[in-house]
Structure 1
Amino acid sequence: VFLLGTEESALMELLSFIYSGKLTTNQPTLLLDILMMSDKFEVVSCMRHCSQLLRSLPMTTESALLYLDLPSSISMAAAVQPLTDAAKEFLANKYKDLTKFQDEVMNIPLAGIEAILCSNDLQVASEDAVYDFVIKWARAQYSRTEERREILGTRLLPLVRFSHMTCRKLRKVLACSDLDNEQATKSVTDALLYKADAPHRQRALATDVLTSRKYTERAYKYRPLKVVEFDRPYPQCIAYLDLKREECGRLFPSGRIYSQAFHLAGQGFFLSAHCNMDQQSAFHCFGLFLGMQEKGSTSVTVDYEFAARTRPSGEFVSKYKGCYTFTGGKAVGYRNLFAIPWPSFMADDSLFFINGVLHLRAELTIKQL
C-alpha cells in the first residue's frame, strides 16, 4: 500500500504508540493525522491521547473548524468528543459578539455557525438579529434555493429561538421565500403559544433539559417584552418587562438595560432600567424610564403608568402615573421607582424580586393622534 509522507509518519507514530503508549510529537498537524489514522484502525486509546494533546495546545479559528470537521466514525466519536466540544466552546466564546465579528463570521462554514448559534451567551441586540444573520449567511453560502432551504430547515432554523423574537419579525418569517412554509408556520405558531403561556410554564420550558436550548434567553442587548395591545376606546398597550436579580445587580453604579421596542398606534417606544443617583445625589437607586424611538418633529401625548409586582400573589402595585408629550425622542420616568436606596432594593429579602425576578409593567394610552 502506497502511503504519502504524512500518512507514513502518522502510521509510524501510531505503531510506536501501540507498543510504548507514547507519541514522539506535539505538532498539531501531525497529531491530527495520527488521530485520523487511529480512527481508521480503530485504536481508541490513541485517538483519546491525541485528543487530549490537541486540547492542551492553543486553539485558533482554523484549528477549531478542523476539529469540527474530523471524519471520525460514529463508533469512535466518543474518543474525540471532548476535543470537538472544546472547539465549539472556543468558537462560541470568540464570536459571542456577533455584531462585532459579523463580516468574519460570514465566511465561517456551517459546522462553525452551528457552534456559535448554540450558545446562550451570544451577545446580540435581540433574537431578531440572530434570525436576520442566519438568512443572510445562508443566502451568501448557498446560491441554489433548494439547497439553501434544506440547510435552513434541517440545520439552522432549529437553533433560532423564535419564542424570543418580536411579533413584527415573526410576521416576516411567514413571508420569507427561503423557508419551507409549513416549517415557518409551525415555528411562528409555537413562538406565539409560548408568548401567551403562563410565566411559570415559560420558566419550566426554559429549565427543562429537552427544551432549554429552544426557550432560554440569550445575552440580549435589548430585553424581551410581553406586550398586550388594545385599539378601543383609545390606542392602548401594556408592556411587561422581567429583569433577573443578577441583571439588576450588574447595573450598579451607573448601568442601563434597554428593552426591545414595542409599538402603539404606529409609534415605537421602549423601556429602560437605570441605576442612578436620587434627585439629591444622596444615594444610588433603581429608576425606570419610558422612551420614544422616533426623533425630530414627531409629537405624541401619552398617559402612562408604571407598576411592579411586589408580592408572590402576582398583583402589580402602581408606582407612578402621569401624562407626557414626547418630542424629539425624549424620555420620561422616575429616578427612584421604589423610593428606597439601592442596597435595600437589592436586599435578599426584598419583596420586589419574586423567585429572583423583578416584574415591571408599563401601561400606555394615546388619546389623540
Structure 2
Amino acid sequence: MRDFNSDLFDLRTVIDSDFSRSASSSSDADFGFAFNDSNFSDRQLRIEIMGEASDARHDPEACTSIADWARHRKRRREDIKKDTVSDLPGGPEEQILSCNQPDMDDLEGCENQEEEAEAMVEESPSGDEAANSNESDWSMDCSTVVRVKTLHISSPILAAKSPFFYKLFSNGMRESEQRHVTLRINASEEVALMELLNFMYSNTFTTTSAPGLLDVLMAADKFEVASCMRHCSRLLRNMPMTPDSALLYLELPSSVLMADAVQPLTDAAKQYLAARYRDITKFQEEVMALPLAGIEAILASDDLQIASEDAVYDFVLKWSRAQYPKLEERREILGSRLARYIRFPYMTCRKLKKVLTCNDFDHEVASKLVLEALFFKAEVPHRQRALASEDSTNVNRHFVERAYKYRPVKVVEFELPRQQCVVYLDLKREECSNLHPSGRVYSQAFHLGGQGFFLSAHCNMDQQSSFHCFGLFLGMQEKGSVTFAVDYEFAARLKPTEEFVSKYKGNYTFTGGKAVGYRNLFQLPWNNFMAEDSPYFINGVLHLRAELTIKH
C-alpha cells in the first residue's frame, strides 16, 4: 500500500501547474463539492478566532472604499501585537499553528522561507510540559479565543494550491501525520480566510468589493496561494482605478516568492499614475503630495509632457526638498531611489554643471551621473541609438529619450579663432510627419557669447503659397533692446555618404525676440521631402546641423 506522502506527491504533480497558471484557467479542477465534506477529507482544520483590542470583527464589505480599507488596515497594524508561535496542548494527534501574526510589511525579510515554515510547526508537549507550556503561553497572550470553527479539509487539495500547506503536510516530521491542525487567526482575518479556503477548492469568490478582494489577497499572500493572488489581482485590475487605489496597490506588502502574482496589478497602477499625471505641471499641488512610490511611477514614464529633462531634474529636487527636509535623508533618497529615473544624458550641459555643485546630491554620485551623461553626449549618433535600444528594456532607461516639448540638441563650442558653436538637432520621421500642415517643434536652448538661442522646425507654405514645405529657423531667446550679430549656416546629412551638406547660410543682427531662417530648406514640396526614398532620412532620422559664429 502506498504511503500518504507518495499519494500527495502524485496529486501535486497533476495539479501543480496551478502555481504557474491563472486560477481562471478552464483546466483548473473544481473541487467545490469536497469543501468541508468529511467524505472527501483526511484532516480536520480547527480555526481559533482571536479577539482584537480595536476591532473584534472586521467585515470587508463594511469598507465602502479603498481609502476605508487602507485606514482600517493602518489601525490594525498599530494595534495588533506581534505574536510568536504558541503551543497549545492538543494531544499527539493535534498540531497548532499561530497565524495571527503581524502583517508582512511589519516584518523584516526572511532569508530562508523553508526554515520559517518549519519553525512555525512544533511538536506538541505532553504531560506536565504541556500544562506548563499552556500556562506560560496564555499568561503572555493578551488575546482570547472568541470563536472556533472546525472544517473538514483535504490535505492534497490544499497542498496542491499552496507551498505553505505542501511543506506543512509533507515535511517528514510527526506533524505531517497528524489529522488535526489548528490555525489561530485574528477576527479581522476570518472572512478572508474562509474566502481563501473556498477558492482553493472551487476557484471562485463570493466577495466582489475591492476591500474584500484586498483582504483575500493579503490572506493568499500569507498562505502562499499564488493562483488566488493572481485571480484577486485580475479582478482588481478590472475595477475603476483611482489615485488612492493605485498608490495602495504599489505599496501592498508581499513576499519575494509571491510578488510575481501581483505584478500585473502593480504594473497597471504604475501605468494609471503615469497617464493621469502625464502633465505634472497641470497637477502640480497633487503631484507634490504623492508618496515616493507614486513619484517613481511617474518619472519612469517615457511619455511625460515636460519641456526638457532639465525640468524633470528641477521637479525632483523640489519634491525631495519638500518631502525630506533633512539633508541626509534627502541625499539617501536621491542617490538610491530617484536619481535612476532622471535621464541625465538628455539634460543640458549648463544644468549638468549645476548638478556637480548641488548639495542635495552626494558628490561621488553626482560626478558619476554627470560623467556618464557627458560620455553619452560625446558618442556618435548611431552609437547613441544603440545605447538607447539596449537600455529600452531596463526599468531606469537612462539613455531613452522622452517626448520632450523642446528637442534635445548636441552642442560643440569653440572660443578660437572666433566664438562659434555647432549645434546638432535630430528629428524622427514621425516627428516631422506630425508637423504637417502647420506645426512646429522647438529645440532646447543653447548659448553663444552669453546669449540664448534655439532652433525651430516648421511646416510652412512656400512663398507662393502653392505647396507645403519644411523650414528651419534660428531664434534668440532674449527680448528687448539686445543687439547680437551672427553668421549662421544650416546643413543636413545625406545618405549614403552621411556627410553634412550646406543648405542655407546667411548673417543676421538680432534685436531681441526675433528669428531668421529659410521657409523651404530642401527646396522640395512636403510630400517629396517625406517620401520613403527621401535622401534626408537616415534610418528614419533627419540629421540637421546649425553653425553660429559671432560676427565682428
Question: In which range does the TM-score fall when normalised by the shorter chain?
Answer: over 0.9
Q: Which amino acid aligns with 2:247?
A: L
Match of 1:347 among 531, 535, 539: 531
Distance of 1:312 and 1:221 partners within structure 2: 31
Shift of 1:285: 0.6
1:287-326 counterparts in 2 under 5 A? 287-326=471-510
SS of corresponding position for 2:447 = strand
SS of corresponding position for 1:132 = helix
Distance of 2:332 and 2:229 partners within structure 1: 33
1:213-362 counterparts in 2 under 5 A? 213-362=397-546
SS of corresponding position for 1:215 = coil
Q: Which amino acid aligns with 2:489?
A: E
Shift of 1:143: 1.6
Match of 1:40 among 222, 228, 231: 222
The C-alpha deviation readout for 1:274-317, integer Å capped at 9, x for no partner, is 01111111111101000000000001111111111122322111
Match of 1:155 among 301, 315, 337: 337
For structure 1, the 5+ residue unaligned runs are: none
SS of corresponding position for 1:296 = coil
Distance of 1:192 and 1:333 partners within structure 2: 30
Q: Does 1:174 align with 2:329?
A: no
TM-score normalized by the length of structure 1 = 0.97
Aligned CA-pair RMSD: 1.2
Q: Does 1:69 align with 2:251?
A: yes
Which range moves more in the overlay, 203-212 or 68-77?
A: 203-212
Shift of 1:104: 1.3
The C-alpha deviation readout for 1:55-104, integer Å capped at 9, x for no partner, is 11111111110000000111101111110111111111111112222221
Q: Does 1:195 align with 2:377?
A: yes
Match of 1:56 among 233, 238, 246: 238
Distance of 1:348 and 1:284 partners within structure 2: 17
Shift of 1:17: 1.4
Distance of 2:311 and 2:267 partners within structure 1: 25
The C-alpha deviation readout for 1:247-289, integer Å capped at 9, x for no partner, is 0011111111000000000000000000111111111110100
1:137 is matched with 319
Q: Does 1:96 align with 2:149?
A: no
SS of corresponding position for 1:146 = helix
Q: Which amino acid aligns with 1:244?
A: K
1:84 is matched with 266
SS of corresponding position for 1:75 = coil
Q: Which amino acid aligns with 1:2?
A: M
Q: Which amino acid aligns with 1:329?
A: G
Shift of 1:126: 0.4
Distance of 2:251 and 2:545 partners within structure 1: 48
Q: Which amino acid aligns with 2:50?
A: F
SS of corresponding position for 1:98 = coil
Distance of 2:472 and 2:214 partners within structure 1: 55
1:25 is matched with 207
Distance of 1:40 and 1:282 partners within structure 2: 71
TM-score normalized by the length of structure 2 = 0.65
Which range moves more in the overlay, 228-237 or 48-57?
A: 228-237
SS of corresponding position for 1:213 = coil
SS of corresponding position for 2:50 = coil
Q: Does 1:207 align with 2:255?
A: no
Q: Which amino acid aligns with 2:324?
A: Y
SS of corresponding position for 1:241 = strand
2:58 is matched with 5
Shift of 1:15: 2.3
Q: Does 1:365 align with 2:549?
A: yes
Shift of 1:205: 0.4
For structure 2, the 5+ residue unaligned runs are: 1-48, 52-56, 60-188
The C-alpha deviation readout for 1:296-349, integer Å capped at 9, x for no partner, is 000111111111112232211111111111113100011111001100010011
Distance of 1:312 and 1:182 partners within structure 2: 43
SS of corresponding position for 1:34 = helix
Shift of 1:231: 1.1
Q: Which amino acid aligns with 1:45?
A: S
2:172 is matched with none
Distance of 2:446 and 2:217 partners within structure 1: 53
SS of corresponding position for 1:74 = coil
Distance of 1:230 and 1:176 partners within structure 2: 27
Distance of 1:277 and 1:239 partners within structure 2: 26
SS of corresponding position for 2:398 = helix
Distance of 1:367 and 1:277 partners within structure 2: 31
Distance of 2:487 and 2:551 partners within structure 1: 8
